[in-house]
Amino acid sequence: MSADPWRNKIAAYADGELPAAETRVMAEHLRTCPLCTSDLLAHVQLKRAIRSAGTRYNPSLALRQRIQEEVEGRMRARTKPVRRWTWLPKLAAAAVLAGVVLMLIYGSSFYEERQTFSELADLHVATLASATPVDVISTDRHTVKPWFQGKLPFTFNLPELAGTPFTLLGGRVSYLGQAPGAQLIYQIGNHRISVFIFQSRLDRPSPSSEIPSNRLTFSIETFSANGLRYYIIGDAAAPDIQKLGDLLRTAARL
């Protein structure tokens, strides 16, 4: 089939706006069409560039305080008349300050978190679009794991997949935030899943933090074990991603 009817839907696919059935069909098509995969990569890169450039302006503390005071003032006005306790303005000021600090902390970690997951989604798409998605081709974990020796400053355990629907396709060295890590490609049905393993860093999103709603139709699972951070990302169903995450988590803790 010509790629044109598909290419018209790439934007909606990248925006997470295709219905579930069409998303599945599109994901299947992307596996065999380098033209559409290339288009998708370009869309994802543009979206990422816009998101990064568009998150540009931060409000001043003075404006925060004015808004907060107005909201709180209106709320107080709607309650019973306030007695003029002398400690109340101090309490309000402390609450405003605490609110501002929380908003600053929450705001920065939120954008950072989105950035990391976005970068991983890009790495995943770029890998699948590549003519050589893996540098070590093997379904045997005892072949893939030793291949990383001397290439990464850490080691990790991989799960036994016998009796599971997953197949290991291979691996490659990847980078996130200038730090090297392992990228493993697994397959379930016709879906390919990337597993990224990096050393844990304080400036990476916490595994306990809420994973942002994904607009790229990818499912993401993340956890931390033995000083390593694992990210599992792919267009497979969320329960499958979670199942693979559970297998990796068990192996990581052996």
Among 8, 132, 149, 208, binds other proteins (CB under 8 A): 8
Q: How far apart are CA 206 and CA 54, in angstroms?
A: 24
Residue with smaller CB distance to other proteins, 20 or 53: 53
Q: For the chain, what's the residue count?
A: 254
Rounded to a whole number of angstroms, the minimum distance from the CB of residue 171 to other proteins is 23
Rounded to a whole number of angstroms, the minimum distance from the CB of residue 207 to other proteins is 21
Q: What distance, in Å, lies between the first and last C-alpha atoms of the chain? A: 48
Instruction: Kindly state the helix (H) or strand (E) to which residue 137 belongs, with its residue range.
Output: strand 136-137
Integer Rg of the chain from CA: 23
Binding mask 92-111 for other proteins (x = CB under 8 A): -------x---x--xx----
Residue with smaller CB distance to other proteins, 79 or 86: 79
| Beta strand pairing call for 228-234 and 136-137 | unpaired
22 binds other proteins (CB under 8 A): no
Residue with smaller CB distance to other proteins, 195 or 216: 216
The token pair at 38 is 């290339």
243 binds other proteins (CB under 8 A): no
DSSP string, 139-156: S-HHHHHHHTTTTSSS--
Residue with smaller CB distance to other proteins, 37 or 252: 37
φ/ψ bin of 178: left (φ > 0), alpha (ψ from -120 to 50), beta (otherwise): left
Among 72, 112, 113, 119, binds other proteins (CB under 8 A): 72
Q: How far apart are CA 37 and CA 35, in angstroms?
A: 5
Rounded to a whole number of angstroms, the minimum distance from the CB of residue 238 to other proteins is 18
- Interaction residues for other proteins, span 29-68 (CB under 8 A): 35, 38-39, 41-43, 45-47, 49-60, 63-64, 66-68
Distance of CA 213 to the CA centre of its chain: 9
138 binds other proteins (CB under 8 A): no
Q: How far apart are CA 23 and CA 33, in angstroms?
A: 15
Site residues for other proteins per CB under 8 A: 4, 7-8, 10-12, 15-17, 35, 38-39, 41-43, 45-47, 49-60, 63-64, 66-68, 70-72, 74-75, 78-79, 99, 103, 106-107, 212-213, 215
